[in-house]
Chain A
């Protein structure tokens, strides 16, 4: 299980979003709007499944569309740690 720090989760999410959207990871910043770079529903479900497997928490795919940017999604995931 990866270390659930903000930096760790940010890096984890950035790599997963890059894999799904084919946008290079170094072009995905915390302020990047994920829908704008092509994130789709299936990507949200798959990425959240990987978050659940990696960090042993439950996250709903809808949060990847309720929050616009990578940084906001990271914050929402971190909040799930607090709630767990």
Chain B
């Protein structure tokens, strides 16, 4: 809530140097200095707005008024007097009187969620709860919830830097609409029937500084209060991703006292805050000149506040999610009360609540991060995803499906593609060849043959001989990471390591490595179900190019270690011609991308711990002991396992028809299962690459943290690629020391 525009460059002090330095603040001590010292202030954006208004002939009167009347932009005595006027209304004890009203609104939103055909925790819970509080606590007039949220969203962008002109115009209109929702004071405000006077009326009665408009002040507080809804959504996202057992604890009567501050610390919707130096100062040992900008990385600052490992459980002392000092968020008490009541009430009502992870959308701007949508399932029973598909999240039902090869088989992609070829007239011969050599699309004798050959080449016994070579590849990748100018754990470690190991082990030696590596990620698209003809032809084109990039019979990188491709050539027999063998190697390579993705996800989770809590990550024995308990279930990149029903039947309360697809939702299934997880599947169709995946994780993770014990992730949350089938980190910028 305490933001400052960077688009308004402050005037340099006379005699001082020109140009601004930008200082990153990522620790609590530095943040406390910036928040508390008077030399650090918010930017004054009013001159910028007035210039824009004058030069562009636009009306920005509401924004100019907001700068004058809003705590976010005020400074000096005006700011102090406004805060004093509001103190008695927004203090924890004053806000506590609103608890019954907030609980009534939570109950209304729980009912709304339960009645939704496609429940979404943002659209059907957090946002309506916010609007309800704006009506009942703030006293705003909101006839249309959707329209109000739209206007509020436009107004909220006013805190973002470097807005386009049309965005500033939209923010002006947003503010106009929200101010219009604030009732005009009718004089003395009386207590409502079920609570204290609404805040709008109470604020109108306060002795505000001259020039501060009460309605604009209320509007700015209402707009900023949406941060509480965002924090609620972000907390839900974080808690639900931790698993069912963690979620069910949220409904415990003492959960908020024990864990709420930790949640507020770990899931801040504020990404960055800015302060501008108004004079000379020092920060982190560096001299600060007037005009210099301090950029406070709130997630990093909060991570620095995590308790040391072994320090004992106990309530987290504090976080800086609400800032500190004179610009500390005035809505902190209201946000805390909202989370304190909404989270346990939601967990109590829906103990089996699960996210539809592949449909979650996180919005990130320069200043904030929060879920834009959180589709969810309210109960764990199988649910129809579509007319021909069932979504399975119960672990017992999932395991039963995975091992029942009589009733459930992998999708018959080869037959599907042959029918498409016959029906469309398109040549799909390459796609068909790929399907007939992909174990995840096969059953019966051919599947058995490929599986056996794959385990002979890639099973644990054979891999033991590759381990020294893999150790060398890990060191090579660490050297590469260390030499990167701007190190990124995905681009400079996980991906190169995966390519080096898997290309060699599978016998793929591309003639044009850059071309091959650029196109190979498209191999993962073959996993997407029900692809359009357009997409199938596109992927087939990639396969044609990639198959032409390497030959069978290329010398293996290691004389004594035959690759999958050479093993298929020696032992595949008549079942696999040369093109089949290459197709199989390419299919396995496409599937092996999951090694890179899972490693990246695991590194991200572990590197999020403070450096003092990472000693164990350097220990190969600790990693090995926790691989199946926590690391793989939490980090495994595949989202689903697909099985197709051969005949009609019933399982786990799910009456399926012949041809129905059972989609096993791995994130939901694996949470809390530990060593019994299904990340690598189960039974006859267990992933042939499981042993290699485990070796890579066991070797790469300890080596990484041994080489770089002070490894730190960069700003905010990293970015994920949009992929409906796989959890893929696209980048993970870091500092190595």
Contact = CB atoms under 8 A, between A and B. Distances in A.
A1 B416 CA distance: 28
A29 to B, nearest CB: 17
Interface string B509-551: 0000000000000000000011111101000000000000000
Contacts of A33: 387
B387 A45 contact: no
Given A35-B387, A46-B423, A61 B416 contact: no
A77 to B, nearest CB: 13
Interface string B153-177: 0000000000000000000000000
Interface string B416-433: 100110011000000000
A60 B388 contact: no
B387 A34 contact: yes
A34 B387 CA distance: 9
B388 A65 contact: yes
Contacts of B386: 62, 65-66
Given A42-B416, A42-B419, A42-B423, A58 B387 contact: no
Given A41-B416, A42-B420, A52 B534 contact: yes
Contacts of A34: 387
Contacts of B530: 41, 44-45, 60-62, 65
Interface in A52-73: 52, 58-62, 65-66, 68
B443 interface: no
A2 B532 CA distance: 21
B420 A58 contact: no
A67 B715 CA distance: 41
B523 to A, nearest CB: 20
Nearest to B417: A42
B697 to A, nearest CB: 33
B620 interface: no
B389 interface: yes
A33 B153 CA distance: 40
B659 interface: yes
Contact of A41 (B388, B424, B533, B534): B388
B402 to A, nearest CB: 21
Interface residues of A, number: 20
Contacts of B387: 33-35, 65-66, 68
A68 B389 CA distance: 12
Interface residues of B, number: 17
A62 B389 CA distance: 10
A40 B660 CA distance: 10
B531 A61 contact: yes
Contact of A52 (B388, B419, B529, B532): B532
A48 interface: yes
A60 B424 contact: no
Contact of A49 (B388, B424, B529): B424
Nearest to A19: B423
A24 to B, nearest CB: 20
Contacts of A42: 416, 419-420, 423
A46 B420 contact: yes
Contact of B532 (A40, A60, A65): A60
Contacts of B659: 40
A31 B419 CA distance: 28
Given A60-B530, A60-B532, A46 B424 contact: yes
A48 B533 contact: yes
A58 B538 CA distance: 14
A39 B157 CA distance: 47
Nearest to B423: A46
A66 B530 CA distance: 12
Contacts of B389: 65
A58 B532 contact: yes
A30 B389 CA distance: 22
B534 A49 contact: yes
Interface string B400-420: 000000000000000010011
- Of B387, B416, B419, B536, the most chain A CB neighbours within 10 A belong to B387
Contact of B531 (A45, A46, A68): A45
A58 B424 contact: no
A34 B388 CA distance: 11
A62 to B, nearest CB: 5
A30 to B, nearest CB: 16
A46 B417 CA distance: 11
A59 B498 CA distance: 35
Contacts of A48: 532-533
A35 B387 CA distance: 7
A60 B387 CA distance: 15
B671 to A, nearest CB: 26
A35 B658 CA distance: 12
- Of B419, B532, B659, the most chain A CB neighbours within 10 A belong to B532
Interface in B23-55: none
Contacts of B388: 35, 41, 65
A45 B259 CA distance: 49
B532 A59 contact: yes
Contacts of A58: 532, 534
Contacts of B534: 49, 52, 58
A20 B330 CA distance: 64
Contacts of B423: 42, 46
A78 B423 CA distance: 25
Interface in B414-471: 416, 419-420, 423-424
21 contacts: A33-B387, A34-B387, A35-B388, A41-B416, A42-B416, A42-B420, A45-B420, A45-B531, A46-B420, A46-B424, A46-B533, A48-B532, A52-B532, A58-B534, A59-B532, A61-B531, A61-B532, A62-B386, A62-B530, A65-B530, A68-B387
Given A45-B533, A46-B424, 16 more contacts: A34-B387, A35-B387, A42-B419, A45-B536, A46-B420, A46-B423, A48-B532, A48-B533, A49-B533, A52-B533, A52-B534, A60-B530, A61-B531, A62-B529, A65-B386, A65-B388
The 3 A-B residue pairs with the shortest CB-CB distance, nearest first, are A49-B533, A65-B386, A35-B387
